[in-house]
Amino acid sequence: MFVAASILVPLIATPAAATPCAEQIATIERRLESPGAAAVTGDTPTTQGSPKALAAPPAGRPSDPATAPQAGRIAEARGLIGTARDQDRAGNAQACNDTMTRAKALIGALP
């Protein structure tokens, strides 16, 4: 019985070892699946999305026009997110964080 328990311990601990960059990636992906983001990109929203996301873009224009989300920039950011995921898997935390910073800048202020 002791042997079986010692084999299961590493299996149980593995999912809890998420990196900070992996958490960023998951957060941004949820934002990109929200109904508000879908309004910008023309995609169909998923049923999950982010619990903090707005259902539609706010009325008016952003105070900084550079933060206005654009479908092309969001598509480019999705590519960067894939790159960040690869960097995270390779254990390159700094590169992953840098790539996610660029992706977030491209996404802008999503609703």
Note the pLDDT of residue 50.
58
In a domain, 3, yes or no: no
Measured on CA atoms in the order 63, 68, 26, 97, is the torsion positive or negative?
negative
Residue numbers of the domain that contains 74: 69-110
In a domain, 54, yes or no: no
pLDDT tens-digit map of 10-37? 555 444 458 999 999 999 988 888 777 7
CB contact at 8 A, 80 and 40: no
In a domain, 83, yes or no: yes
Which amino acid is present at 63? S
In a domain, 59, yes or no: no
pLDDT tens-digit map of 37-60? 777 777 666 555 556 666 666 677
In a domain, 14, yes or no: no
In a domain, 43, yes or no: no
Please state the pTM of the whole predicted model.
Answer: 0.67
CB contact at 8 A, 65 and 83: no
User: For the chain, what is the domain count?
Assistant: 1
In a domain, 10, yes or no: no
In a domain, 18, yes or no: no
